[in-house]
Amino acid sequence: MTPGDTPPAGVAGADRQEGALRFYGTELPGVSAGELSGTLIVIEGTDGSGRSTQIELLTEWLEAEGFAVQTMGLRRSFLVAKDIDALLAANTVTRLTLTLMYATDFYDQLEHRILPALRSGMVVLADRYFYTPVARAAVRGIHRDYLLGIYSMALRPDLTFWLNVRPELAFEREFRKSHAISYWEAGRDMSLSNDLFQSFIRYQSAIRKEFETLSKRHGFLEIDGEASIPAVNRELRKRIAAHLGIKSTRYAPSPALARYWR
């Protein structure tokens, strides 16, 4: 297929196995989704939803079960991660530029880290996917169709979990962790309120609403992120085990991660 063609739904995957990975729309230049034998699992949720903790635990569990794991996340690309950090620190960047820099960060990781891992049959755990940058840009007034168009060459994940927490609890967790709330986490660029707490709550509520829309559109598996760490982890393992064909979901964290279980 030439890169310019967008296949009609249902046609492109005809020669692939059931359940194989697919692109949302257009294929990336030079990549065929049929050669990807790995599994892509996404964990989404706002700051303070417990994503990173769960990914640490899941990585250990999957490795114990004999699966090779690769991870990805926001601002982790070799190409532009540092540049985005600098732009955020200076906070003079416009929303459109930031949106496109996040897209560059995403595709750099997709092409250089995720696709090679999926080709060799690994399990990719994504600590957020493109849904977070889409939600952040959408609440800043950029049209959803424009955003989803940019990410039309992304892979459709096998499983997407959404750790849903109330903004008030997210605030509490974030504050306990770093004793401060950052400019961007509170959506300060949007002039929502001069009160940091109010600004955070309004901003995170808008993001959460955006996630509800995305959840419907993309079939997220919603998980109560306010439950205890072991309870959330049990739920995640149950779903992932079923997908990967792992029989037993018994797991207890190693001493290094045991603190999460207390």
Interface residues with other proteins (CB under 8 A)? 3-6, 25-26, 28-30, 78-80, 82-83, 87, 93-94, 96-97, 99-101, 103-104, 107-108, 111-112, 139, 141-143, 145-146, 149-150, 152-153, 206
Q: How far is CA 146 from CA 32, 96, 137, 189, in A?
A: 24, 11, 10, 21
Question: Cβ of residue 67: shortest distance to other proteins, in angstroms?
Answer: 27
Residue with tokens 């029989």: 247
Q: Closer CB to other proteins, residue 152 or residue 228?
A: 152
Is beta strand 22-23 parallel, antiparallel or unpaired with respect to 221-224?
Answer: unpaired
Q: Closer CB to other proteins, residue 190 or residue 221?
A: 190
Question: Cβ of residue 87: shortest distance to other proteins, in angstroms?
Answer: 8
Is beta strand 155-156 parallel, antiparallel or unpaired with respect to 22-23?
Answer: antiparallel
Q: Closer CB to other proteins, residue 56 or residue 108?
A: 108
Q: Closer CB to other proteins, residue 44 or residue 210?
A: 210
Question: Cβ of residue 254: shortest distance to other proteins, in angstroms?
Answer: 35
Residues in the chain: 262
Question: Cβ of residue 92: shortest distance to other proteins, in angstroms?
Answer: 9
Residue with tokens 């999926």: 118
Query: How many other β-carbons are positioned within 10 Å of the β-carbon of residue 13?
Result: 16
